Structure 1
């Protein structure tokens, strides 16, 4: 009977839903003929929380959780965000660096500015500010093996140090010079502090770079990048890049470069010399041993030197660059470590940048790349798809920097006439093709492609920029070259594009069909060019012209 009654009720509700307009609307909106239905949610709580007499303890727990602990955690998180900049430095330190900025500042000036950071005050607070300061200063002011001072800093920098009052800033600056000069302090606590200042100062240089970019002057921007190189490699300003190699000391560098040499020898220049000459300069009494020399050469052959092969501008899918268009700076280059032998020649096909087809969604979204492997008989490119798995370069060889660091390459354009930045830096930490083979030692010499987009100038003309490719981890591995951006007038570019199009396609071709579909006049069939003989001419006129499709994958590079 209960089952029959329930079925009868359901049938009655269904009948009402079919005959009564209000009931039917309730069923459509709420899923029930009686309208919105109420519901309840129950939460199972421990018996101790609902037992009489424990209410005050429950209220106390809730007050501590939601009234004290939660506001404290939210406030700490918010204050931590507001307390530091996006570079990871304290906002107060960034403000102090801002006040130290100068348009003509160099690496030594930046090091002097970094010592003002609050991070050093927190690291050397209290008695630690003066502990061992006199010993550090005496060591860095001692005569050096190849320089007047052991820390290899100038008399002007020495006066700046002496003008500072005793305290955290003076100790931080003294330890910075001791770190860059690789001065032995013979004290465990001071040596630990000496190696701590490098990782503290590195993010401060990034903050100073951001300040320099806001002003847009070329000299401070480059100086901030060079300071980053010095901190990672522990090399004083204007010192020899050969100090990046293991076992190389200022005395050995002086023997390699020459006693009276005023120019610094780069690692590339040293490794480009014949092995016999390198041995004659670096190996011998009071110089490197044979094992030390072999270690230094092996390290040099693993350093990732990015050698630029070509740089040009383009607009994706277009042959011309018009005013205010979105321009892509394409930089082609290979990683060729210093001292590499049997380096293969550059393949001209690798220097071309082919745009993806309009229907190739994976290539447009960056899920894969297209690499040109050849050309067909009509001159059109033959492309091969490659999965786009980012390649991370090996960690920087920096034995004195107390952190693992992945190298970064910064590409930006400057105006040499005005000394201003023209296009902000683009930072690259990953690449599209392997740098070394599976063994991690053999270079692949694969062509890498770096791309940076910016807006073209609003007026047509020729714009000459200086392109800088700066690595933040190695000294002397930078590239500086002139590049010219040609901006054509929009009307001229449109006229030249119209002239390049096929004027009279076949009426049975795809373009002819599309023209007819748009309501255009019927198009005549094209004829072949006139031949020398009349017979060839008559034969040509009797045949339809067979034209190849216009290549839309790539365009000539300007």
Structure 2
């Protein structure tokens, strides 16, 4: 029998084919667009701090800023996905409106209207009945039903054919084997192409395109996606970059060491791939050598690290970022563009390094990584000799040195200490240093809008409980206010004592317990040299200074429960509302007094770090009962057992109990198992009024060296 090939002249089949191929590309691409990016360092939300200041090469920075925004928008993928969805919609439209001629399977049982289990006697009886009504000699065509003599005759032929198929042994055999009483028929193959595309001898070229698409294009696309996924970590960092930074990790690292580790990432090669990657390296290194080491903030070991590099791409990367941090003019637009383009990538690689440092748990590399984030955002050298006043517009190293010499300060002056000076004194110092009054006013306006977070109170508590018991789920509650540098003391309202309390919702009010406060954002970071919008974040963690290790890993805060800033006359002014930051983790398994150093670091501004000593008091279960019995203010209540299978996770899988046990060389508990609190029956104390006031004081100037001690606050009853 012959084989027949036919084209899809009526568009019955090719929309299905095109829809399938397009969906294989469009659906995964759409998923990658909808998925939240792993890099949370930037945000399009929030207002900019208004300032007329324009840095040098502002046009190049704006070009790089626009380029970074295009990368974030992923414009090419968005256009490809949109085109794919349009094609898919059109194919679905064609499938819906096209009348498809579905081939009918010839069925003799259906023609005679008999069941498949009918006997030969039943089939003969049914045929005789049909011959009385359907025979052409006994049936007149009905014009009302569009019947003609020919159609009547065709129907009778089908009836006779069906009767023979069911009563003739050979015909029935052909029907069962080939689905046709006449035996095997010719084979028809449908090609999912409209005939228009293959007319006039062009069919072979179209088929060639189909073959290239299915045999080459689709496998290449899938392979590229697969190997791309395998070559990157879940943070979207190359595996080779993570390996390089992992090998460069040390227990003791300053910001310069972290910077050298970050510079080994492979992502920078993609930025410098245009032309020859090491073009202009000699010019950049010459400018670094000619510049004053103090001005560029390079320590001798940093220069030694740069000189020891043999890879020209890595060497150029470090040299360009050093030029960015020291704000060196390279006198070359191409090099200037690369300099500003590298900074956002360096910040993203630094966050990847932070993940590695947190896995080890040493305090020094973590703090150095946070400080490098500040330096990259503000374009300030990461060494200890950096100048915090460079964050203000129009301030230069020369002007800052003159001001610091006049004030007689040994350490570098922070924005807080400079703005704490009387206005007349600031103006006199700036004028003597060569800074015009108008430019000083611009700097003061920016400084008065910077989000300096001042801690008012910090304490530990257990929600719904009076005492902290071993292995309980505790919270470190931080009450703070945003008070920008230079804010007059007369403008700062006193703290309401009620705002410093953390009152638990009633036990029966489930809705109040689940309700979360509305997230309030703050202005974007004032970073005129950073070619990307960046939202400041605050990282709070507990460390053991004696061991040099982190007890509770950082909790990150970028939004707050109150409105920190409000707009007034085009400026962002503070509301002085008390915001609440909470860290939840598991307490140590042994009773006693634990002292930690609480570190709060803002990753977008230099000199806004804060630290203080906090004390956690864990009470013995038996002692708690005895104290309550002596007071006579207790009643016993049944304690509910923990829900089976319920797990109270801690941040990054850490608990303070596990960290303390690890420091002491003791075995740690399985973090996947729920922690049961070893405590007696619950003691419900009567309400009582607090008679002690917090003597906590927060110092923001670098001259204040005292560390305030915060006692454990566990009284969560409502006054």
TM range (shorter): 0.7 to 0.9
Match of 1:347 in 2: 496
The answer to whether the 8 Å contact 2:295/2:397 transfers is: no
2:364 to 219, 223, 240: 219
CA–CA distance in 2 between the matches of 1:504 and 1:270? 57
1:44, 1:435 → 2: CA distance? 55
1:121 corresponds to: 269
Q: Which blocks of at least 5 consecutive residues in structure 1 are unaligned?
A: 1-42, 368-387, 506-510, 512-548
Equivalent in the alignment of 1:174? 319
CA contact (8 A) 1:350 1:447 kept: yes
Counterpart pick for 1:455 among 559, 574, 586: 586
Matched, 1:130 2:278: yes
**Greater relative contact order: 1 or 2 (C-alpha under 8 angstroms, separation 6 or more)?**
2
- 1:240 is the counterpart of 2:240: no
Give the one of 173, 176, 190 matched to 1:55. 190
CA distance in 2, matches of 1:47, 1:64: 31
Question: Quick check: 1:556 aligned with 2:715?
Answer: yes
CA distance in 2, matches of 1:498, 1:81: 62
Structure 1 position 503, deviation (Å): 6.6
Larger Rg belongs to: 2
Give the structure 2 partner of residue 442 of structure 1.
Answer: 573
**Residue aligned with 2:350, SS:** helix
C-alpha offsets along residues 130-180 of structure 1, whole Å, 9 cap, x if unaligned? 211111111122133xxx465231222222212222511000000011000
- Using the TM superposition, give the Cα deviation of residue 121 of structure 1 relative to its aligned residue in structure 2, in angstroms: 1.8
Equivalent of 1:257, from 385, 390, 404? 404
Give the 3 Å change call, closer, same or farther, for CA 69–322 of structure 1 in structure 2.
farther
Q: Please, what TM-score do these two structures have when normalized by structure 2?
A: 0.58
Unaligned 5+ runs, structure 2 = 1-94, 104-186, 195-206, 638-684, 691-713
| C-alpha distance in structure 2 between counterparts of 1:504 and 1:261, whole Å | 60
* CA-CA distance at 1:389 after TM superposition: 1.7
Do the aligned partners of 1:125 and 1:168 also contact (CA within 8 Å) in 2?
Answer: no
Q: Could you tell me how far apart the structure 1 residues matched to 2:388 and 2:371 are?
A: 12
Task: Provide the C-alpha distance between the structure 1 equivalents of 2:634 and 2:245, rounded to a whole number of angstroms.
Answer: 63
* Alpha-carbon displacement from aligned partner over 1:338-378 (angstroms, at most 9, x marks no partner): 000121122221111101112222321134xxxxxxxxxxx
Deviation, structure 1 residue 484: 0.3
Alignment equivalent of 2:304, drawn from 140, 159, 165? 159
> Any idea what SS the aligned residue of 1:299 has?
helix
Counterpart in 1 of 2:11? none
Q: Distance in 1 between matches of 2:234 and 2:521?
A: 23
Q: Is this contact kept in 2: 1:150–1:183, CA < 8 A?
A: no
Which one of 283, 291, 307 corresponds to residue 143 of structure 1? 291
1:252-300 Cα shifts (integer Å, max 9, x gaps) = 110111177541111100100101111111124x621111000000000
1: CA distance between counterparts of 2:465 and 2:366? 33
- The two structures, once aligned, show a CA RMSD in angstroms of 3.0
Could you tell me whether the CA contact under 8 Å between 1:327 and 1:455 is conserved in 2? yes
The counterpart of 1:363, out of the listed 491, 497, 512, is 512
Alignment of structure 1 residues 174-193 onto 2, 5 Å? 174-193=319-338
- How many residues are matched? 450
Asked whether the 8 Å contact 2:464–2:716 carries over to 1, the reply is: no
Aligned-partner SS, 2:458: strand
In structure 1, which of residues 478, 496, 499 is the aligned counterpart of residue 627 of structure 2? 496
2:123 maps to none
> What is the match of residue 31 of structure 1?
none
Q: Check conservation: 1:48, 1:54, Cα contact below 8 A.
A: no
Residue 67 of structure 1, CA deviation:
7.7
Change (3 A) 1:191 1:126: closer
Residues 411, 469 of structure 1: 8 Å contact kept: yes
Alignment TM-score, normalising by the size of structure 1: 0.75
Please give the secondary structure, in 2, of the residue aligned with 1:398: coil
1:335 and 1:86 mapped to 2: Cα distance? 35
Q: CA deviation at 1:412?
A: 0.3
How far does residue 64 in structure 1 lie from its aligned partner after superposition?
8.1
For 2:247, the equivalent position in structure 1 comes to 99
Aligned-residue offset at 1:120: 1.3
Match of 1:540 in 2: none
Q: For the structure 1 residues 289 and 45, does the alpha-carbon distance in structure 2 shift closer, same or farther, using more than 3 Å as the test?
A: same
CA distance in 2, matches of 1:64, 1:477: 59
Within 2, Cα distance between the matches of 1:429 and 1:126? 36
Q: Counterparts of 2:634 and 2:303 in 1: how far apart (Å)? A: 75
Residues 556 and 85 from structure 1, CA distance in 2 versus in 1: closer, same or farther, beyond 3 angstroms?
same
Say whether the 8 Å CA contact 2:465–2:716 is kept in structure 1: no
